Amino acid sequence: MAAVTVATVAKKVVAAMASNKKGRKTLGYILGIILFILSIPIIVICCLSDSLGSLGNLGNVDMEQFRGSLTQRIEEVLESSGIVDQLTGIEDALREKGFSDDDIHKAQLIYISCSNEVEITDSFYDDLAACFTGAKEDKSVYDILEETFGIMISDEERAKLNELY
């Protein structure tokens, strides 16, 4: 069940991150790092082999195996960055407080898009939950998040989040 949740969150996170300049830049860095890590074994094999002919027939690559390997590498990179732990922590804390899946995913997405601006403290999860419960007609969740964590959420990002959830 956790894998399905992580996959769903990852899909929505990538969609949301691709919708703004900062998110695309972050995705570009992540993909660049992943591609570099994946290319290291190929570089080593090429350097150690006598010629490219000794590599065998590279045209018969099993695409399913390649996709599985790529997916596994992406998961390893995300796990090592600590993002998965933070997303799980957010999910657990908000689920404990009775939040809906949409609110949990929205909170996770906001965290990912602002993760370099938000400091994780002992009261982070409680503060995040308070932002969602404190929303009223005159103050939106976004306004409270901006005040609590000192971040900026543009009107464009607000519209995109509202469209997703």
Q: What is the pLDDT along the chain (165 residues), one digit of tens a residue?
A: 566 777 787 788 777 777 888 878 887 888 889 888 988 888 877 777 655 554 455 555 677 787 888 888 877 777 777 777 888 888 888 888 888 888 888 888 888 777 667 777 778 888 888 888 877 777 888 888 888 888 888 888 888 877 876
Q: What is the pTM of this model?
A: 0.50
**CA separation for the pair 137, 81 (Å, rounded):** 37
**CA separation for the pair 110, 87 (Å, rounded):** 11
Cα–Cα nearest to 83, from 115, 44, 126: 115
Residue 33 exposure: Cα atoms within 13 Å on the Cβ side: 13
The helix/strand/coil state of 146 is: helix
